[in-house]
């Protein structure tokens, strides 16, 4: 049996984080360097939703630039990691064993939620990567169970990297050169960090009732990867990383579970 791999949650921020969020990039690099080398990476991104949890069987996933209006330099970045279709099939079988119906995509590439943090974590793109989608219109409870279904793959050398956002309210963003951090975003980020430290699953599932919880996530897509990570991690508190906010209101917090 391989050494049990950690579980990572990364706030990927705006697509230009690689160019502008230097301490976040350094955080991702530090996380990648601190983790035993995985045989493959299972990436769960906020930017892929299907009617059911769907694995990509791409053998050479393309780098998807699923954004517009940013620096041309960003569109030139590529992440040419190989895919891992055999391991993707294994993940699908684990999902199926828990009574969920997995889907399959023949060639889905890596969206920016996946490749942006991986670009810093594994800059040589020398670890195979496959994506797993979120399930559209399914909430935190479903994605917690989805993560739990995937736990055994950690013992097979697979690193689970879930990528979303701790805060994701565009109305709070400040696009100025030196924005001030939003007190609402800070309040929710700290509330979430405390609940994760205390392993308060009940409160986390009901995060929308917390101060600024619903406001931090007008839609749930960007926080659902956190619940997948939480489920895959199982018992144990994560380490919290706290890079600077980007655009004033995008918390760039990352979490790593090593249990």
Q: Predicted confidence band at 14 (pLDDT cuts at 50, 70, 90)?
A: very high
Q: What pLDDT digit, counting tens, does each position of 55-85 carry? A: 999 999 999 999 998 999 999 999 999 999 9
Q: What pLDDT digit, counting tens, does each position of 206-231 carry? A: 999 999 999 999 999 999 999 999 99
State the average pLDDT over residues 238-252.
97
**Residue 92 belongs to some domain of the structure:** yes
State the average pLDDT over residues 152-165.
98
Please give the residue range of the domain that contains residue 167. Answer: 7-257
Contact at 8 Å (CB) between 204 and 230?
A: yes
**Residue 1 belongs to some domain of the structure:** no
Number of structural domains (the chain) is 1
Q: From residue 213, how far is each of 75, 102, 163 by CA, in Å?
A: 33, 30, 18
pLDDT of residue 176: 84
**Residue 94 belongs to some domain of the structure:** yes
**Residue 240 belongs to some domain of the structure:** yes
SS3 state at 138: coil
**Residue 105 belongs to some domain of the structure:** yes
**Residue 165 belongs to some domain of the structure:** yes
Rounded to whole angstroms, the Cα distance separating 130 from 124 reads 16
Rounded to whole angstroms, the Cα distance separating 171 from 210 reads 19
**Residue 217 belongs to some domain of the structure:** yes
CATH number of residue 185's parent domain? 3.40.830.10
**Residue 2 belongs to some domain of the structure:** no
pTM: 0.97
Angle at Cα 53 formed by Cα 254 and Cα 37, nearest 5°?
Answer: 45
């Amino acid at each position: 049996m391989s050494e049990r791999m950690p579980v990572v949650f990364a706030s990927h921020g705006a697509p230009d984080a690689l160019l502008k969020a230097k301490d976040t990039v350094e955080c991702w690099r530090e996380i990648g360097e601190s983790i035993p080398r995985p045989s493959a990476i299972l990436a769960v991104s906020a930017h892929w939703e299907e009617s059911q949890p769907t694995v990509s069987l791409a053998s050479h996933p393309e780098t998807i630039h699923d954004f517009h209006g940013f620096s041309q330099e960003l569109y030139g970045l590529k992440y040419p990691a190989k895919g891992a279709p055999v391991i993707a099939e294994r993940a699908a079988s684990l999902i199926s064993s828990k009574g969920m119906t997995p889907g399959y995509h023949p060639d889905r590439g890596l969206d920016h939620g996946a490749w942006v943090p991986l670009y810093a974590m594994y800059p040589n793109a020398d670890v195979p990567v496959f994506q797993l989608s979120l399930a559209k219109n399914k909430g935190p409870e479903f994605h917690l169970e989805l993560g739990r279904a995937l736990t055994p793959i950690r013992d097979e050398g697979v690193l689970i990297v879930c990528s979303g956002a701790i805060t994701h309210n565009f109305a709070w963003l400040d696009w100025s050169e030196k924005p001030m951090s939003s007190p609402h975003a800070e309040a929710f980020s700290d509330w979430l960090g405390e609940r994760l430290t205390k392993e308060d699953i009940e409160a986390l599932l009901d995060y929308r009732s917390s101060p600024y919880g619903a406001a931090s996530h007008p839609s749930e897509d960007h926080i659902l990867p956190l619940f997948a990570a939480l489920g895959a991690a199982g018992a144990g508190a994560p380490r919290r990383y706290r890079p600077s906010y980007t655009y004033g209101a995008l918390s760039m917090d990352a979490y790593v579970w090593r249990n």
